Amino acid sequence: MSTYWIQNARIIDPAAKRDALGDLYISDGKFVATLSAAAKKRAKKIDATGLVACPGLIDVHVHFREPGQTHKETIATGSRAAAAGGFTTVVCMPNTAPVADNAGTIQLINDSVRRDAVVRVLPTGCITVGMKGAALAPIGSLKRAGVVAITDDGDCVQSNELMRRACEYAKMFDLPIMDHCQDHSMTVGAVMNEGVMSTRLGLRGWPNAAEDLIVARNAILSEHTGAHIHLQHISSRHSVDIIRRAKARGVKITAEATPHHIALTDESLATYDTHFKMNPPLRTEEDRRAIIAGLRDGTIDIIATDHAPHTDYEKDKEFDFAPNGILGLETALPVTLAILVRQEKFKLPFVIDLLTRRPAQLLGLPAGTLAAGAAADLCLFNPNEDWAYDAKAGFSKSSNSPWHGATLTGRVKTTFVAGKIVFAQGKIL
């Protein structure tokens, strides 16, 4: 392995509360405190003047579509998009085809990861068989196969009793449950947020209450069972309030927000552009502000992308029939910086923490730090560089992004995984 000497960077390591100009050293795939004089002579030097050096970003919510939906994305293309976005660890959702509800499918995914991935790709397993919400999947077998969490993401478990049993088993096997909070009975035929815009556009509305009910249910079940429930892509101001009050009681829940829910509102759907159609839907400015407030005070723990690739021909349909979801990995950092740092005046180390140490801590991953001895997963980015995002020229297999053609500020320059450069100068290496 190569030895690297990264010079003159602004080093931000939230785990060590470090924010200072300095140098970083990498040897044998790990960060080291320093290099010998001889090692410095042979080290590959990277001038990082003007760049931020932080732990590799971590995304606990992506869809790489393999197996079975590889026309949208593969582990190879998805992991390349991750590397281009500065992410070094991602957690894949199990709603593949077949769904990841057994050890055999997890093994298939892990084989593809070992063969094709350029970043660390970790699998999740289903809560229920077939993601049908009727019977529990073999949670112990899934844990032994290597899953880091269980979730029926996209198909929220509707039975409170079944979810209770899932919590009990998940706690037994020390696995967090990730839940997509949606009461299906309230969202039949719904395609966007219920409100003024849905009425104006003549589209079936999706009320905040459909999320709020399940968030409250999960807070109650977490308190009842002691299980860790992670609430995915929170979009409702009422849900933020429920989570805040539950955390004040010591309930073991965590929550995530997406870049698109802190940046966009349902006003974006005025032209029926399906690139703004997602689940949960974009909501109102009041909801957006509440999510940002939840990030500020720690009610919402992390940023996650919900990277959800779809082909052009799938998205190019009448609004009612187009699938939900957008790309997120290559735009997450600049969009988050634009909203939280430049608009909301969050401190940059705090925002980096939302994308590194906190998601690692949430899943108990040995990542999210620049400490000596840790695996050298590193993101170098220029927080001030403007660039035009072309989704069709990106590394994902799909191009369904609301930011296609936009000028973004903040660009990833180099991504290291285990001391190896996997992305640099706009290319996968």
Catalytic residues: 306
Q: Is 371 exposed, middle or buried (0-12, 13-18, 19+ CB in 10 A)?
A: middle
Report the alpha-carbon distance of residue 194 to residue 180 in Å, rounded: 18
DSSP 125: B
Tokens representing 8 are 């003159």
Amino acid at 266: D
Sign of the alpha-carbon torsion through 292, 296, 298, 304 = positive
What is the spatial distance between Cα 352 and Cα 57, in angstroms, rounded to a whole number? 8
Q: H or E segment at 236? A: none
Q: Is 230 helix (H, G, I), strand (E, B) or coil?
A: strand
Task: Please state the separation of Cα 294 from the chain's center in Å.
Answer: 17
Query: Which residues partner with 59 through β-bridges?
Result: 90
Q: Report d(CA 368, CA 285) in Å as an integer.
A: 32
Place of tokens 């899932």: 166
* Distinct helix (H) and strand (E) counts, the chain: 14, 19
**Which residue is it, tokens 């080291």?**
32
Using CA atoms, how far apart are residues 126 and 39, in angstroms rounded to an integer?
A: 47
